[in-house]
Amino acid sequence: MIRSTNDRSTTDRKVEARRVALASAIGTTIEWYDFFIYGTASAVVFAPQFFPQVSALAGTLASFATFAIGFGARPLGGIVMGHFGDRVGRKSTLVWCLLLMGVSTFAIGLLPTYASIGAWAPALLVFLRFLQGFALGGEWGGAVLMSVEHAPQGKRGLFGSFVALGLPAGIILSNLVFLMTSTVASPEQFASWAWRVPFLASGVLVAVGFFVRLRVAESPIFEEVQRARSTRRMPVVDVLRSEGRAVFLAAGSYLSISATGYLVIVYFVSYATRNLGFSLPVTLGLLQSAAVIFAISILFFARRSDITGRRRMMRWSCGLVVIASLIFFPLIDTRSVLIAAAAVCFMLAVQGMYIGPQAAVFAELFPAAYRYSGVSLSITLGTLLGGAITPVVATALYGTFGNSWAVTIYAVALSLISWLCALGLKETVHTEL
């Protein structure tokens, strides 16, 4: 039986859509791996290596502050990469993001410590962390648009979720490498040199991601914008002028997801090992288990959003995060590994209800001509105001009050703000891209 040209064309589009979704998932996994190994290192090793001249608490605060600098760079990366993504193309911009992230992460693995070069060590660490944040600021928006704009009709939530899967996959991969390294090496070896292994290993991963991304096609919707000569001279200005409300509502809805996510992924590592007495392998093992639950939740709710709608799902997620924020620290403060595992899994599972449809929602909120800028600004602003400062704020609050209740109140307050913003988001499932 001979297939018609239209049949072949439809089949080719489906194959290309799957290839793009896989490439986005791989690339985003590598980007998050690079980003998260820094977070883990900032929780367990950077304070004595780069800030030995201050107290343990001050060193931890300084270490988390360098972690936050990456978030501060993300809006700038989102603006710059969003500009080129809307004017030059999604694919080429993503390739540059991946290369910049890979080079900066590999360089951290080679960085001399304070004992070797003094104040230059933390200064260079801050600079490289800034480059990491800048690259990630442009990565997420481009990966989302490549997946969603290639997706078959009625499956944008599912295909967009492959980008979201890079988040738990990055958690699993980064923690697995740190877990293996900290298990094989003695504590003295880990503190001396073995902590560098996860950073240096990113060089191999970036090479794989670079090869995969070069093989995918440009977004067909962006090509249509180019053919129609509809590209904007200053897309970031246009999106703020025309869709400013959507940008700030989307960013606000993500505020608590970002904040509580980094409470679990970054601050929990420091809190559990230093305040609860959990070993590093046990703590990272808890995160590994929770990340698997997170990934399942993302896929399930992304597909459901294609069927039942997205706004309701994100609203419910933000409401449940309020509850999760209220009980998280009281549960882990029991010092029971099983109860802590339940708390971490519940927090990430309810976040999956938001993260699953998020890629499709953010893409559907903005017109194609400045969609990259709109998506990048929304995610980076939410992350800057939420996840960027949360480990620092949590460490300072615990150091001031001596208990976790102040951190709980902070997390609950952000969660209520996000829930209110989610109520203001419009339903986008039937939007034409």
Q: Report pLDDT digits (tens) over 123-175.
A: 888 888 888 888 877 877 888 888 888 888 788 888 888 888 888 888 788 87
Among residues 325, 310, 262, 257, the alpha carbon closest in space to that of 426 is found at: 310
Average pLDDT score over residue span 40-44 = 71
Give ∠ CA 93-99-101 in degrees, rounded to 5.
100
Q: What is the CA radius of gyration of the chain?
A: 21
Structure tokens at 390: 């949360």
pTM value is 0.82
Task: Taking residues 18-43, report their average pLDDT.
Answer: 75
39 vs 202, residue with greater confidence: 202
Q: Cα(108)–Cα(42) distance, rounded to whole angstroms?
A: 12
Long-range contacts of 282-288 (CB under 8 A, 24+ apart): 282/337, 284/40, 284/175, 284/176, 284/178, 284/179, 284/182, 285/179, 286/337, 286/340, 286/341, 286/344, 287/171, 287/175, 287/344, 288/171, 288/172, 288/175, 288/176, 288/179
**Does the pLDDT at position 353 exceed 50?**
yes
Predicted local distance difference test score (pLDDT) of residue 56: 65
Q: Report CA 5 to chain centroid distance, whole Å.
A: 40
The per-residue pLDDT of the chain, averaged, comes to: 82
Collect contacts of 405-408 with beta carbons under 8 A, ≥24 apart: 405/329, 407/263, 407/329, 408/325, 408/326, 408/328, 408/329, 408/330
* Per-residue pLDDT tens over the stretch 364-409: 898 888 888 888 888 888 887 887 778 778 888 888 888 889 999 9
pLDDT over threshold 70, residue 59: no
Q: Of 59, 35, 47, 106, give the one whose Cα is nearest residue 266.
A: 35
Residue 5 in this model has a pLDDT that exceeds 60? no
Q: Evaluate if residue 71 carries a pLDDT over 80.
A: no
Residue 196: per-residue pLDDT: 84
Q: What is the mean pLDDT of residues 57-62?
A: 67
Domains of the chain by start residue, with CATH: 15-424 (1.20.1250.20)
Please answer whether residues 81 and 97 qualify as being in contact, where contact means their C-beta atoms are separated by less than 8 angstroms. yes
Number of residues written out for the chain: 433
